Amino acid sequence: MAAYEALYRKWRPQTFEDIVAQPHITRTLKNQIMRDKTAHAYLFTGSRGTGKTTCARIFAKAVNCLHPKDGNPCLECEICRDAEAGALTDIIEIDGASNNGVDEVRSLRGNAALLPVRCKYKVYVIDEVHMMSVGAFNALLKMIEEPPAYVKFVFATTEIHKVPPTILSRCQRFDFRRILPADIVSRIQFIADHEPFTVSDAAAHRIAMLSDGGMRDALSLLDQCAAVSEQIELATVEEAVGVAGTESVYEILRAVAAHDAAAALERIDLLYRQSKDMTRFADEISQQLRSLMLLKTAPNDLSLLGVMPDDAAQLQELAKLFSLGSILEALSAVRQCCDRMTRAGNRRMELEMTMIRLCSDLQTQKGDVQALNDKIAELERRIAEMQKNGVPAALPGAPRRSPASEKNVPAQNLQIEGKPDISQYLPVRNWASVLERFDEVNPSVSGLLQDSAAYANDEKGILLMMVRNTLFKKLFTKQDAVLLGTAAQQVLGKKYAIRFKSVEADPEQIPPAEMLFKRAQEQGIEVSEQENAGI
């Protein structure tokens, strides 16, 4: 009984016509072989599984074939048969990762000096050439530049940036493209027609997307699925590969759009208990977020998505739930999560934290890009008004300052004497947002509230500030209290009467400006409150 042969080996292309999605390379090589104008050194570069080593083997057979056909090997002569069986000593395949030293290159040079035994050319195919050491590359230079007429080199690499420029300049370079999903699907269906299993269109497309442009990866996944069932459906692929499935991704995205962190965590828990790969699931989420980004940017060009029609319809519905800004924010967060997962011990926790953060961030967003543009336009209008009238513009809906109110009239009657009963108040959780609003109209006074806390009594309609900066009660005016009340109303949705209580601060925590002011007063130097505010 013959040993089982993996699909990617069984269906490895034998001629240039069999190579998928690289016509710009195969056409050039065939023309060179037909015209007998082949180069002495080639460099094939591209991502994994795109046909680099396969193309090098076909080239080695074609230049030595006894009866080539239009630049292709005939596959029938003794040279082609022995080359395919690995019994031809004149075609030498070398792994650059394990033969990367100077001694190995010196041995190669010694063997290259010998004439071919049976072929017209000695062809050296060096895979993963970027793994060779600097010394090994230097030892190769002279041989690559001026090899014997009967020697040809074909280098293959996935990391072209690691190959020295001195090597690049001595080779003809060919860049292998990622194989499109449609081409991979077509190849899978062709193989399925000649194998004892069937593959649905959805399953073939899913395999193509998971292979990330690599035909070898696609055929390995197909082989794995064929071991599960002879009728390969979408569920078969997800079961065999261990991926979560698009429906789980859509559920997560709906939960994010609805700010429902609990639903997102429940889905992650379910997948974790099913032993799904959290890193791969996070990558699937990022892929679908990319699809949403493309839908928002180019809604009329569904070909950019590369998805099945049913998935396209669901993605279009999901796209309505997000703004482009929120999609970009989510995509950035998930990609960062994927990067952290490669180093994290608990990948599930990394994904859970990201989902919670996304649900919270999207819930508290103040609007999309259009809302931000509107806010910028409003600020520009206020600045123009200030320049025209010399009067600061107020917040929308806030009372306008009159010239008389510009006088620095202290609001001492707003200060609560004695110890207030805090039990009657609740902390204001959005106090930072209130101060941010207040800072737009009075940054000098709002700066004095940075270390403050606020409490609200909804029954009495009072907002009580606990202020540590003693300068505040000297600079806080009645008009400032009105503006602060308006800012609080816009953020908290309720109108409050403003009150404050000065809290003694630790001398070490007193701001330098306030310390200078105190020392000046102690020495009898008169400093106005306006001058002190500008220290």
Mean pLDDT confidence for 296-308:
75
The pLDDT of residue 511? 47
Q: How many domains does the chain have?
A: 4
Closest CA to 282 of 248, 309, 327: 248
The pLDDT of residue 154? 92
Q: Are residues 300 and 423 in the same domain?
A: no
Mean pLDDT confidence for 441-454:
81
The pLDDT of residue 59? 92
Query: Could you tell me which residue, 89 or 381, shows the higher pLDDT?
Result: 89
Kindly tell me if the per-residue pLDDT of 310 is higher than 80. no
Q: Are residues 163 and 103 in the same domain?
A: yes
The pLDDT of residue 370? 57
Query: Could you tell me which residue, 214 or 400, shows the higher pLDDT?
Result: 214
Q: What is the CATH number for 205?
A: 1.10.8.60
**Other Cβ atoms within 10 Å of 362 Cβ, number:** 19
Kindly tell me if the per-residue pLDDT of 333 is higher than 80. yes
The pLDDT of residue 402? 45
Q: Are residues 150 and 111 in the same domain?
A: yes
The pLDDT of residue 386? 66
Q: Is residue 400 part of a domain?
A: no
Kindly tell me if the per-residue pLDDT of 405 is higher than 50. no
Kindly tell me if the per-residue pLDDT of 42 is higher than 90. yes
Mean pLDDT confidence for 202-222:
86
**Other Cβ atoms within 10 Å of 442 Cβ, number:** 21
Q: Are residues 163 and 97 in the same domain?
A: yes
The pLDDT of residue 173? 92
Report the share of the chain in percent with pLDDT over 90: 6
The C-alpha atoms of residue 404 and residue 300 are separated, in whole angstroms, by: 59
- Which residues, including other chains, have CB under 8 Å from residue 337's CB and lie 6 or more apart? 282, 350, 351, 353, 354
The pLDDT of residue 58? 92
Domain boundary among 204, 225, 241: 241
Q: Mark 177-207 as b/e (b = at least 16 C-beta within 10 Å).
A: ebbebebbbebbeebbeebebebbebbbbbb
Mean pLDDT confidence for 456-470:
85
Tokens of 403: 């010239």
Task: Give the predicted TM-score (pTM) of the model.
Answer: 0.58
- Taking the alpha carbons at both ends of the chain, their separation in whole angstroms is 93
The C-alpha atoms of residue 201 and residue 185 are separated, in whole angstroms, by: 8
Q: Are residues 61 and 110 in the same domain?
A: yes
pLDDT tens by residue, 104-116: 888 888 888 888 8
Q: Is residue 398 part of a domain?
A: no
Q: Are residues 157 and 268 in the same domain?
A: no
- Quickly list DSSP for 399-461: PPPPGGGGS--B-GGGBPPS---GGG-EE-TTHHHHHHHHHTT-HHHHGGGTT-EEEEETTTT
Q: Are residues 85 and 188 in the same domain?
A: no
The pLDDT of residue 387? 62
Q: Are residues 217 and 91 in the same domain?
A: no
The pLDDT of residue 372? 62
Kindly tell me if the per-residue pLDDT of 362 is higher than 70. no
The pLDDT of residue 28? 92
158 within 8 A of 128, measured Cβ to Cβ: yes
Q: Are residues 147 and 185 in the same domain?
A: no
What is the residue range of 461's domain?
408-522
Report the share of the chain in percent with pLDDT over 70: 84
